[in-house]
Amino acid sequence: MAEQADPARLSRRSEVDARQCTPRLLHSTAGGVIRGLLLLALMTPLYTLAGPVGSSAWEMPTFRLKALDGTAHQLDEWRGKVIMLNFWASWCPPCQYEIRDFVGYQEKYGGRGLQIVGIGIDSERKLRNVARTLGINYPTLVAGEDEGWKVLKQWGDRRGVLPYTVLIARDGRLVYTHLGPLDQATFEEQVLPLF
């Protein structure tokens, strides 16, 4: 008889495909059912924002998280900037892939008002290692796993897929969300017009 998986014990590690990371599911009957439901959810239309595009980021649930430098931050500290709020984890290769591009974007466009803010859904030690290795030059806030998954869902990623990016215009409007790595073509199409 197959052992039933306890959903509370499902690992938050990733099962990686070429485009995104999702929580790893156990290889059991229950895990197969959950994988099937996840696949079905990924094939449905994408309605991800907690509020509709055009709603205000300043009306979204607030969070106060500590950055890797020890400073506590809230999102509204970056009012008036174009904000790319990026959720990621150390165990997610697609996340690390896009971070390399984000470092370049922050360097090139930071003076024009771009502010990338990373929210790490992982332990501080693991996030710090990735930040050092990739030379992250923008704030990385440490949400940890429990708080991180909660904040991720509040900001519209109900599926728990990483990486996930929310684009906020200078006036606070939520203008775009993106599941999976955000490539250069998408950056040029969605972010550059906001400067």
Q: For position 91, which CATH number holds?
A: 3.40.30.10
Window from 8-17, 18-27, 29-38, 71-80 with minimum mean pLDDT: 8-17
- Is residue 132 in some structural domain? yes
* Beta-carbon contacts of residue 102 (< 8 Å; ≥ 6 apart): 84, 86, 116, 118, 136, 138
DSSP state of 4: P
Helices (H), 71-121: 93-109
pTM for this predicted structure: 0.75
Asked whether residue 188 is domain-assigned, the answer is yes
pLDDT classification of 23: cutoffs 50, 70, 90: low
In a domain, 83, yes or no: yes
CB neighbour class for 98 (10 Å; exposed up to 12, middle 13-18, buried from 19):
buried
- Residue 106 included in any domain: yes
Owning domain of residue 183: 57-194
DSSP state of 48: -
pLDDT tens, position by position, 184-195: 999 999 999 999
Asked if residue 154 belongs to a domain, the reply is yes
List, for residues 137-186, the tens digit of each pLDDT value. 999 999 988 888 888 888 888 888 999 999 999 999 999 999 999 999 99
pLDDT, mean of residues 89-99: 95
Average of per-residue pLDDT values in the chain:
79
Per the structure block, which two tokens stand in for 154? 């509040």
Residue 11 lies in a domain: no
Domain count, the chain: 1
